[in-house]
Amino acid sequence: MRALLLPVKDLRNAKKRLESVLTPEQRLGLAHAMLTDTTRAVRDVCRAEKIFVITNYRPAMEIAEENGQISESDSVDAASRRCAQRGVRSLLRLPLDLPLLQPSDIDELLAIEYPPPAMAIVPSRDGTGTNALLRTPPTLFPSHFGAGSFAKHLAEAKQASAQIVLRRNFRLEMDVDDESDLHALLEYDLSATATGRWLCEAGLDVKFRSGRKRETKVAAGNHL
């Protein structure tokens, strides 16, 4: 059995690295919008036989239940052990903040077939974090998070003598942690996403696009 695992933290404390440019209410709104986009993409995946949402945040539990997903309040590694006990042989962990994510992106990863032990991994946009992690078996090695997690997962896989598959995918790599990520995100067509609609309604698309234009003009002036 192949399954998905979505860890969702309390969104009221999400996106701390955006504190300098977004209010707490705006950070919460952005996190909810990205969770909506990620959950919708996950809902239409074909190759996952089960979808697990690991959270202690009640609104995330409700979203999971509305989309037919299994909600647990547990740590990622404890949840991975539970998944293995339920017969899951390959488990794909995804973050919640992937506004460009498409079901096909997930299905392509789940289509990777290697005998255990094996790992497929997609880095974050800056190459230091981990934006998708497929472990066969689910308990192959402990989870790591944040900057530096990509290198740690590679080291763990090598230590476990696992087959390593590295994939690049701009939609999977486009998460939003800081202001530079917001600028990068706004380079894409977001009209079909909840995140894009929220940014527009909050007036933040104009704010950050204008800020990027000012920075570009200043940089150009400095080179005259």
**Least confident piece of the model among 25-34, 61-70, 86-95:** 61-70
Q: Rounded mean pLDDT of 196-221?
A: 72
**Considering the domain boundaries, does residue 81 fall inside one?**
yes
Structural domain containing residue 9: 2-218
Does residue 180 form part of some domain? yes
Does residue 223 sit within a domain? no
Mean pLDDT for 190-206 is 95
Instruction: Flag whether pLDDT at 170 surpasses 90.
Output: yes
Q: Could you report the per-residue pLDDT of 10-19, keeping only the tens digit for each?
A: 888 888 899 9
pLDDT at site 92: 97
Which pLDDT belongs to residue 26? 96
117-144 per-position pLDDT tens digit: 999 999 999 999 999 999 999 999 999 9
Flag whether 61 is in a domain.
Answer: yes
- Does residue 70 carry a pLDDT above 80? no
Region 139-158: mean pLDDT is 94
Structural domains in the chain (count): 1
Q: Letter for the amino acid at 120? A: A
What pTM was computed for the model?
Answer: 0.86
Whether the CB-CB separation of 63 and 39 falls below 8 Å is answered with yes
Q: What is the rounded average pLDDT for all residues in the chain?
A: 88
What CATH number has the domain bearing residue 174? 3.90.550.10
The pLDDT value recorded for residue 59 is 73
90 in any annotated domain = yes
The partner residues of 130 in beta bridges, in order of sequence, read 123
Is 224 within a domain?
Answer: no
**pLDDT over 70 for what percent of the chain?**
87
Copy the structure tokens of residue 210.
């204008």
Q: In angstroms, how far apart are the furthest CA atoms of the chain?
A: 64
SS3 of residue 28 by DSSP: helix
Residue 188 lies in a domain: yes
- Which tens digit of pLDDT belongs to each residue from 24-64? 999 999 999 999 999 999 999 999 999 998 877 777 667 76
What local confidence, expressed as pLDDT, does residue 216 receive? 46
Q: What is the pLDDT of residue 211?
A: 53
pLDDT grade for 72, boundaries at 50, 70 and 90? very low
Q: How confident is the model at residue 146 (pLDDT cuts 50, 70, 90)?
A: confident
Residue 214 confidence (pLDDT) = 47
Q: Is 126 exposed, middle or buried (0-12, 13-18, 19+ CB in 10 A)?
A: middle
Which pLDDT value is given to residue 209? 77
Q: Is the peptide bond before 95 cis (omega within 30 degrees of 0)?
A: no
Query: Residue 52 falls within a domain, yes or no?
Result: yes
